[in-house]
């Protein structure tokens, strides 16, 4: 195939939602319909043997939540789909935000009972920063939920985006009958827990008595009234408006019952955008350019506990990635040969010889790659838009097994390289403090250090308000400041100077007293 043909058959998207909206369940069913797995896993109970394929880490199985982005690729109806299932919990928002830089579109899952929740609003803000196209899937129609029109109004109001329903529910909860596809003009009848999905029943005219016979006279009349109102209130679906991120098509279904998922997938491969051009610090890179470029958006250590491997996730942006080729590492200004390249189905991997724009490639790495790094065939360009975040909670690392100090050091280094937390080492006393955006991250770090590295440790709370990266145009002034505040000076994992402020008022006073020192509230991943 030509590069244009390869691009035309690829769709790369992320699934996002507030926790417990059914995001990982929807991911499982998409994999099921795509033929990537034979049996969908449960995501709730640690007693259930078949866990969700995307929740493959041991702590995810025990807690029933996603704590890391999973990358899954499969083919459906001749289309290569790259699916990224992100954590819904706000404590792991950093991983989700960075993952959204690697996708071309998003499916947002909304619980029909709870409606739009706080984390959904934050995720939508990230999508809006890049005008990422969004499809809404309103889930759990088998439960008694909010009125569908109220849900649409809530989405428009809270997420500040226009909506256009492409399917419509016929009742919900115990009386849920199914979904009418406004896009395909067909009816899909609901059967709980079905494993085989029949083709929809074509209803070219919803005024037909056939509809009454299928869903009952009362439900048929309500559907006719709803469709008339939809067609009168909402403009026709515009592919251009969707692609520009201005309107969100809406689907209804019940992921746990496999219902509405196939219709979503069938429409998605038809309307979702192909791999898109991407901005760099030099120029816009088009996907159909002949030379390979890509960037690292995620790093994960110990995906295979039996092998202490470290894998960098690379989004291919242009050209063709070829295994065994030498590529230019822009930050380090040197070339590396990447002989091991893999494609993913969660933690399952297979070696690949080539990858095209939109694909996600796993590269085995010994520590040369960082989140935000760009790889090219020699051009000195850096992809932009990898967000970084200031920690909000700080705790000191205390080693409880002196015999495992090396394991603790290695574990901390590798886990911090994944970008889920930040490590600060004080100049005085060499105390190690970890900063995160959520308390649950500490539990995950402690669990992984023990089970993946054999390191026993605990955390002690710290009275730290803000970690500020410091710089100055005058090196002498910077040295004087460091010496005067030595007890509060630490270094991040890259050796950059950081001022650890104990309170907001004290930080303001220090800033006023040292006007030549710049205090930075975010740490950039690139040097």
Q: What is the distance between the alpha carbons of residues 253 and 417, in angstroms, rounded to a whole number?
A: 39
At residue 60, does pLDDT exceed 80? Answer: no
pLDDT of 299 = 83
Q: What is the distance between the alpha carbons of residues 90 and 92, in angstroms, rounded to a whole number?
A: 5
Rounded to 5 degrees, what are φ and ψ at 151? -65, -40
**Confidence tier at 199 by pLDDT (50, 70, 90):** low
Long-range contacts of residues 206-215, Cβ cutoff 8 Å, at least 24 apart? 206/180, 211/187, 214/187, 214/189, 215/170, 215/177, 215/178, 215/187, 215/189
pLDDT of 66 = 40
Whether 394 contacts 456, CB under 8 Å: no
525 vs 396, more confident = 396
Which residues, 6+ apart, have CB-to-CB distance to 261 below 8 Å? 26, 29, 30, 33, 197, 253, 255
pLDDT of 526 = 43
Whether 344 contacts 53, CB under 8 Å: no
**Confidence tier at 8 by pLDDT (50, 70, 90):** very high
**Confidence tier at 460 by pLDDT (50, 70, 90):** very high
409 CB-side CA count, 13 A? 8
Q: What are the tokens at 178?
A: 């199914």
Q: Which of 59-73, 179-193, 199-213 shows the lowest per-residue confidence on average (mean pLDDT)?
A: 59-73
Q: What is the pTM of this model?
A: 0.77
pLDDT digits (tens, 9 = 90+) for 201-232: 777 778 888 888 888 899 999 999 999 999 99
Domains and CATH numbers, the chain: 3-173+235-271 (3.40.50.300), 278-376 (3.40.50.300), 393-520 (3.30.70.3280)
At residue 241, does pLDDT exceed 50? Answer: yes
**Confidence tier at 187 by pLDDT (50, 70, 90):** confident
pLDDT digits (tens, 9 = 90+) for 114-162: 999 887 888 888 788 888 999 999 999 999 999 999 999 999 999 999 9
Percent of the chain with pLDDT over 70: 84
Residues for the chain: how many in total? Answer: 527
Q: What are the tokens at 71?
A: 């990358």
Alpha-carbon dihedral 53, 79, 350, 100, rounded to 10 degrees: -60
pLDDT digits (tens, 9 = 90+) for 66-108: 434 578 888 899 999 999 877 644 555 566 777 888 999 999 9
At residue 168, does pLDDT exceed 60? Answer: yes
Identify the burial level of 320 via C-beta atoms within 10 angstroms of its C-beta, where 0-12 means exposed, 13-18 middle and 19 or more buried: middle
**Confidence tier at 387 by pLDDT (50, 70, 90):** low
pLDDT digits (tens, 9 = 90+) for 463-481: 999 999 999 999 999 999 9
**Confidence tier at 345 by pLDDT (50, 70, 90):** low
């Amino acid at each position: 195939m030509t590069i244009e043909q390869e691009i035309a058959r690829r769709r790369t998207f992320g699934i996002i939602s507030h926790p417990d909206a059914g995001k990982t369940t929807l991911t499982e069913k998409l994999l099921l319909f795509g033929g990537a797995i034979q049996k969908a896993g449960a995501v709730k109970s640690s007693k259930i043997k078949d866990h969700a394929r995307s929740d493959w880490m041991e702590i995810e199985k025990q807690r029933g939540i996603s704590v890391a982005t999973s990358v899954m690729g499969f083919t459906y109806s001749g289309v290569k789909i790259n699916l990224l299932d992100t954590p819904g919990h706000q404590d792991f928002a950093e991983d989700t935000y960075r993952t959204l830089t690697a996708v071309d579109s998003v499916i947002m899952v909304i619980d029909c009972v709870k409606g739009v929740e706080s984390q959904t609003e934050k995720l939508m803000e990230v999508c809006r920063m890049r005008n990422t196209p969004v499809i809404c899937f309103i889930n759990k129609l088998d439960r008694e939920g909010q009125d569908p029109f109220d849900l649409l109004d809530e989405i428009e109001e809270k997420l500040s985006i226009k909506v256009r329903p492409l399917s419509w529910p016929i009742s919900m909860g115990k009386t849920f009958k199914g979904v009418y596809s406004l896009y395909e003009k067909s009816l899909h009848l609901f059967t709980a827990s079905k494993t085989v999905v029949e083709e929809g029943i074509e209803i070219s005219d919803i005024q037909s008595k056939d509809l009454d016979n299928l869903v009952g006279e009362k439900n048929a009349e309500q559907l006719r009234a709803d469709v008339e109102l939809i067609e009168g209130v909402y403009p026709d679906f515009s592919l251009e408006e969707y692609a520009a991120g201005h309107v969100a098509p809406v689907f209804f279904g019940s992921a746990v019952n496999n219902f509405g998922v196939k219709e979503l997938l069938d429409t998605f491969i038809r309307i979702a955008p192909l791999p898109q051009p991407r901005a760099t610090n030099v120029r816009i890179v088009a996907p159909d350019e002949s030379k390979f470029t890509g960037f690292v958006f995620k790093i994960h250590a110990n995906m295979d506990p039996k092998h202490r491997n470290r894998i960098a996730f690379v989004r291919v942006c242009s050209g063709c990635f070829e295994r065994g080729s030498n590529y230019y590492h822009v930050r380090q200004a040197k070339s590396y040969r990447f002989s091991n390249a893999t494609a993913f189905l969660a933690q399952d991997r297979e070696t690949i010889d080539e990858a095209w724009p939109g694909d996600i490639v796993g590269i085995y790495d010994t520590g040369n790659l960082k989140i935000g790094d760009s790889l090219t065939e020699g051009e000195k360009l850096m992809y932009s838009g990898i967000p970084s975040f200031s920690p909000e909670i700080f705790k000191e690392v205390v080693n409880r097994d002196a015999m495992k100090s090396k394991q603790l050091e290695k574990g901390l280094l590798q886990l911090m390289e994944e970008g889920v937390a930040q490590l600060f080492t004080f100049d005085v006393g060499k105390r190690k403090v970890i900063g995160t955006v959520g308390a649950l991250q500490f539990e995950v770090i402690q669990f992984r250090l023990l089970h993946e590295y054999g390191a026993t440790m605990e955390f002690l709370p710290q009275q730290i308000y803000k970690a500020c990266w410091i710089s100055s145009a005058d090196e002498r002034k910077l040295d004087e400041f460091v010496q005067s505040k030595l007890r509060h000076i630490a270094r991040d994992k890259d050796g950059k100077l950081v001022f650890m402020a104990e309170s907001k008022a004290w930080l303001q006073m220090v800033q006023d007293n040292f006007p030549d020192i710049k205090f930075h509230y975010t740490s950039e991943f690139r040097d």
